């Protein structure tokens, strides 16, 4: 974080694609056990660990909405980084500087996955900013002597006692520490991090590594008083060369298994946190920082982990930057139909894309809205700039080009943009050769000074002489369509994408108007205030306070996935999206949809299913299997200039007239769509004239029943649960064994019968036309 959404020059290759070294960054006590089942407070669509009485009501109200204090109707989540300690002479941002009464959650960045697959912040020492560092003589930074640890964690715990409504989460990973970590000596250890902890070299799930990490995460938050865990894994996608170039030797070899490993990691974390919370009498939260890039999300299948998350924080920034030559906003709210990167990829001219531009916050929000309530989604805002120099064309630089002649060492790029440098790149990284990485990255307080023609006295701390002069003027520009401000220096041809009161106010209104859960900020140290005594902008809380004031009187956020009433009776019919093609081969997006009848009632041919998918993709989904898939209604049609007007497309499909579905049997169809969507949701099925919901949607207020009969178990089976040993009597299928016609095997909790001789054909892979006949569950 900030989110490097790395892309390559290919169709749908999102401009939210960042070269790693262009990023400006450095690398409680238990309560009594719950006495009752708090299911009434469970948020809509949130997975509940079977057999565990999760104390949801410690965090959520009876409508499933998070309790955050009387004047916090929406979330304001701030990332607090461990490296702005002031020990290097640069301005410090400590726990005392957080506007505690204006925020709802703090994510501490970052912890990492260590060489033993455990959550860690390094060895305890006086140099460890998290647990050992102190700030003698700094007012407000005094340690709480009652705590057994020092550092930022001591300070966060101290201030949280004074502001008990504020929750803290430990954020794990980030751009620099997803595939490795910084050792105590400051050098990076290329350990594999999330990539090898969750996924083995052969692409299989590393459950042992996951269990070790999840157990350590539970122990960690208990030790240091955190309310939960935030996972910033960048990135579990099948797209080649995604994420930090330093990780490619490990990540690229595992691409085919990263999505499964990610899902297994989230499921294990959810279950272990639920069990710990039940014992401690308080619900522990699990959240993620999720990419906004259409390119990365295309390789994350349907983002199947949303059901395990209390909420998702969208990294809806880094949508344009110096990782390529296309000059555009860092974090525009909407598309304007003129994005030069999208135009070059023919997104606006292709009927398959429906004219939908996908490099904006509104698109990313609607992607996740397809499978989550608005209130379990938070949009990201950057308190830092991105920028270019030597910009050619465009309108005041916007949608111009800035091509570089070479790229920073270690960036993994052979072609990139000409990033701003020097006084226009205050928060810069260095490349592998120790040179400044050109990115135009600055805290917003420095950008405000540039806008006003002010050279702040802090510049000497960043290596500039005290008599530094600015060249040209930095004129503020603004697009009301994009909801994006920027600074344009016509003399230097410098473009710096910014945020300020006008854009943040519009984004806050957007959150309130659409029932969204709130906002997430990277990073809090970039906010600003005006210091009249010095005549300059400095670190402050202007933008955060503005959001708080917008949110404090807002109506309650949207707490349901569906925007319409669905049946209150649900049936056990499973739906899985799988067999996604990998990497650049996955366009168009053509997964197999597997429908499994887990009821005791046969579904006759012609049975109709309906479901919703997000308007982030156009309403042109279809199937290639004779199920008659068609979009029957749409909340939005046409381009998305100025924003998508609604959330869902409603789809109908029917079992072919000749295709009944016996109890325990499955059927596959090939689904087809053109822009990524999160897991289709809000399913219904009409059986013998009665419409039911599906239990797998985890909707609040539903009762699981047998079609036409009585109530079934209240917890729907999870499709990722392993089969119960001993239930299947046929021998297990083996890929190297020859089977003659009529042979029976067991595989994935079903019994299968061979229609003809076979070897190596996995049961179920060919659907009803394959070599194996599905004889039902066992």
**Model confidence pLDDT, tens digit, residues 326-344:** 999 999 999 999 999 999 9
Q: Radius of gyration of the chain from Cα atoms?
A: 26
Residues 162 and 188 in one domain: yes
Six-digit token pair at 767? 């659907």
Short-list 181, 179, 177, 159, CA closest to 168:
159
Please give the pLDDT value at position 27: 28
Q: Per-residue confidence at 756, pLDDT binned at 50, 70, 90?
A: confident
Residues 150 and 225 in one domain: yes
Please give the pLDDT value at position 712: 53
Mean pLDDT of 139-167: 98
225 class by beta-carbon count within 10 Å (0-12 exposed, 13-18 middle, 19+ buried): middle
In the predicted structure, residue 22 carries a pLDDT above the cut 80: no
Distance between CA atoms of residues 536 and 538, nearest Å: 6
In the predicted structure, residue 12 carries a pLDDT above the cut 50: no
Residues 505 and 595 in one domain: no
| Cβ pair 389, 420 in contact under 8 A | yes
The residue written with tokens 């649960």 in the block is: 721
In a domain, 456, yes or no: no
In a domain, 451, yes or no: no
Contacts of residue 417, Cβ cutoff 8 Å, sequence gap at least 6: 321, 322, 323, 324, 325, 326, 327, 388, 402, 403, 404
| Cβ pair 634, 650 in contact under 8 A | yes
Buried b (16+ CB within 10 A) or exposed e, 606-616: ebebbbbbbbb
| Cβ pair 368, 615 in contact under 8 A | no
Q: DSSP E strands: which ranges in 364-474?
A: 377-382, 386-388
Domain assignment of residue 359, given as a range = 20-383+501-551
Residues 78 and 177 in one domain: yes
Please give the pLDDT value at position 711: 57
Residues 636 and 604 in one domain: yes
Please give the pLDDT value at position 509: 98
In a domain, 434, yes or no: no
Distance between CA atoms of residues 12 and 8, nearest Å: 9
Under DSSP, the state recorded for 768 is G
Residues 536 and 574 in one domain: no
Distance between CA atoms of residues 62 and 487, nearest Å: 46
Please give the pLDDT value at position 32: 39
Residues 81 and 174 in one domain: yes
Among 518, 551, 584, where does a domain finish? 551
Task: Kindly report the CATH number assigned to the domain that includes residue 586.
Answer: 2.60.40
In a domain, 142, yes or no: yes
HEC assignment per residue over 131-173:
CCCCCCCCCCCCCCCCCCCCHHHHHHHHHHHHCCCCEEEEEEE
Distance between CA atoms of residues 389 and 494, nearest Å: 4
The pLDDT > 70 percentage for the chain reads 92
Please give the pLDDT value at position 68: 98
In the predicted structure, residue 139 carries a pLDDT above the cut 80: yes
Distance between CA atoms of residues 362 and 607, nearest Å: 35
Residues 161 and 259 in one domain: yes
Residues 199 and 308 in one domain: yes
Q: Per-residue confidence at 445, pLDDT binned at 50, 70, 90?
A: very high
| Cβ pair 674, 353 in contact under 8 A | yes
Give residue-wise pLDDT tens across range 413-433: 889 999 999 999 999 998 888
| Average pLDDT of the residues of the chain | 91
C-alpha distances (whole Å) from 67 to each of 332, 527, 686 are 30, 26, 37
In the predicted structure, residue 19 carries a pLDDT above the cut 50: no
For the chain, the first-to-last Cα distance in angstroms comes to 46
Contacts of residue 501, Cβ cutoff 8 Å, sequence gap at least 6: 542, 543, 546
Distance between CA atoms of residues 474 and 490, nearest Å: 8
| Cβ pair 304, 286 in contact under 8 A | no
Give residue-wise pLDDT tens across range 171-201: 999 999 999 999 999 999 999 999 999 999 9
Distance of CA 480 to the CA centre of its chain: 27
In a domain, 645, yes or no: yes
Query: Of 132-136, 404-408, 520-524, where does mean pLDDT reach its minimum?
Result: 404-408
Mean pLDDT of 716-724: 48
| Cβ pair 762, 747 in contact under 8 A | yes
Mean pLDDT of 366-371: 98
Query: Of 484-488, 705-709, 730-734, where does mean pLDDT reach its minimum?
Result: 730-734
In the predicted structure, residue 763 carries a pLDDT above the cut 90: no
Please give the pLDDT value at position 29: 38
Among 656, 684, 704, where does a domain finish? 704
Residues 650 and 768 in one domain: no
In a domain, 337, yes or no: yes
Give residue-wise pLDDT tens across range 224-260: 999 999 999 999 999 999 999 999 999 999 999 999 9
Contacts of residue 693, Cβ cutoff 8 Å, sequence gap at least 6: 566, 567, 568, 569, 570, 571, 683, 684, 699, 702
Mean pLDDT of 517-544: 98
Among 519, 551, 583, where does a domain finish? 551
Task: Kindly report the CATH number assigned to the domain that includes residue 769.
Answer: 2.10.10.20
In a domain, 301, yes or no: yes
724 against 411, higher pLDDT: 411
Residues 94 and 186 in one domain: yes
Q: Per-residue confidence at 656, pLDDT binned at 50, 70, 90?
A: very high
In a domain, 733, yes or no: no
Residues 772 and 685 in one domain: no
Mean pLDDT of 689-706: 96
What is the number of structural domains in the chain? Answer: 3
């Amino acid at each position: 974080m900030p989110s490097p959404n790395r892309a390559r020059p290919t169709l749908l290759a999102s401009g939210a694609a960042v070269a790693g070294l262009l990023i400006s960054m450095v690398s409680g006590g238990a309560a009594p056990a719950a006495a009752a089942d708090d299911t009434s407070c469970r948020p809509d669509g949130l997975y509940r660990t079977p057999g565990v009485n999760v104390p949801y009501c410690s965090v959520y109200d009876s409508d499933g909405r998070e309790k955050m204090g009387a004047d916090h109707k929406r979330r304001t989540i701030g990332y607090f980084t461990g490296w702005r300690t002031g020990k290097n002479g640069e301005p410090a941002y400590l726990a005392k500087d957080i506007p505690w009464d204006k925020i709802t959650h703090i994510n501490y960045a970052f912890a990492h996955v260590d060489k033993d697959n455990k959550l860690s912040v390094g060895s305890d020492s006086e140099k460890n900013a998290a647990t050992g560092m102190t700030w003698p003589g700094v007012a407000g930074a005094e340690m709480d002597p009652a705590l057994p640890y020092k550092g930022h964690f001591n300070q966060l715990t101290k201030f949280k006692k004074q502001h008990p409504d504020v929750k803290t989460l430990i954020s794990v990973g980030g751009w620099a520490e997803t595939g490795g970590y910084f050792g105590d000596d400051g050098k990076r250890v290329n350990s594999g991090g999330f990539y090898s902890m969750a996924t083995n070299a052969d692409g299989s799930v590393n459950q042992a590594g996951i269990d070790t990490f999840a157990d350590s995460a539970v122990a960690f938050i208990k030790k240091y008083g955190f309310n939960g865990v935030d996972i910033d894994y960048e990135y579990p996608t099948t797209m080649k060369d995604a994420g930090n170039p330093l990780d490619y030797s490990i990540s690229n070899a595992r691409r085919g298994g990263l999505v499964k490993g990610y899902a297994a990691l989230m499921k294990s974390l959810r279950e272990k946190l639920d069990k710990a919370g039940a014992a401690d009498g308080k619900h522990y939260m699990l959240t993620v920082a999720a990419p906004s890039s259409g390119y990365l999300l295309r390789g994350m299948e349907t983002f199947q982990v949303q059901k395990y998350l209390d909420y998702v924080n969208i990294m809806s920034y880094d949508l344009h930057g110096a990782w390529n030559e296309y000059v555009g906003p860092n974090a525009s709210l909407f598309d304007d139909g003129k994005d030069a990167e999208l135009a070059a990829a023919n997104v606006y001219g292709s009927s398959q894309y429906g004219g939908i531009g996908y490099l904006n916050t509104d698109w990313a929000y609607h992607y996740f809205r397809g499978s989550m309530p608005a209130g379990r989604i938070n949009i990201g805002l950057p308190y830092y700039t991105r920028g270019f120099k030597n910009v050619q064309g465009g309108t005041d630089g916007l949608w111009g080009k800035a091509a570089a002649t070479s790229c920073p060492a270690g960036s993994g790029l052979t072609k990139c943009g000409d990033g701003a440098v020097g006084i226009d790149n205050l928060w810069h990284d260095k490349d592998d050769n120790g040179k400044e990485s050109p990115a135009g990255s600055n805290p917003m307080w420095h950008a405000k000074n540039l806008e006003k023609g002010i050279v702040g006295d802090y510049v000497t701390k960043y290596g500039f002489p005290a008599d530094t002069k600015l060249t040209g003027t930095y004129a503020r520009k603004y697009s009301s369509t994009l909801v994006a401000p920027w600074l344009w220096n016509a003399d230097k041809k410098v473009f710096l994408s910014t945020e300020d009161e006008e854009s943040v106010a519009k984004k806050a209104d957007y959150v309130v108007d659409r029932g969204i859960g709130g906002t997430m900020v990277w990073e809090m140290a970039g906010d600003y205030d005006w210091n009249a005594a010095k005549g300059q902008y400095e670190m402050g809380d202007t933008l955060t306070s503005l959001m708080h004031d917008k949110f404090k009187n807002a109506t309650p956020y949207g707490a349901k996935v569906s925007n319409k009433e669905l049946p209150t009776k649900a049936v056990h019919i499973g739906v899985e999206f799988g067999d996604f093609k990998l990497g650049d081969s996955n366009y168009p997006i053509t997964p197999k949809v597997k429908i499994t009848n887990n009821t005791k009632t046969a579904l006759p041919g012609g049975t109709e299913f309906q479901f919703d998918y997000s308007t982030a993709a156009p309403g042109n989904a279809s199937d290639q299997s004779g199920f008659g898939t068609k979009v029957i209604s749409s909340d939005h049609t046409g381009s998305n200039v100025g924003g998508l007007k609604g959330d869902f497309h409603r789809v109908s499909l029917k079992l072919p007239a000749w295709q009944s579905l016996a109890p325990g049997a499955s059927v596959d169809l090939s689904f087809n769509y053109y822009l990524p969507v999160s897991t289709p949701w809000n399913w219904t099925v009409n059986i013998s004239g009665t419409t039911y919901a599906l239990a797998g949607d985890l909707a609040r207020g539903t009762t699981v029943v047998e079609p036409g009969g009585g109530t079934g178990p209240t917890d729907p089976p999870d499709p990722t649960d392993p089969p119960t040993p001993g239930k299947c009597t046929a021998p297990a299928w083996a890929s190297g064994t020859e089977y003659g016609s009529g042979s029976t095997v067991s595989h994935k909790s079903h019994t299968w019968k061979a229609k003809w001789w076979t070897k190596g054909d996995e049961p179920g892979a060919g659907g009803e036309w394959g070599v194996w006949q599905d004889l039902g569950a066992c």
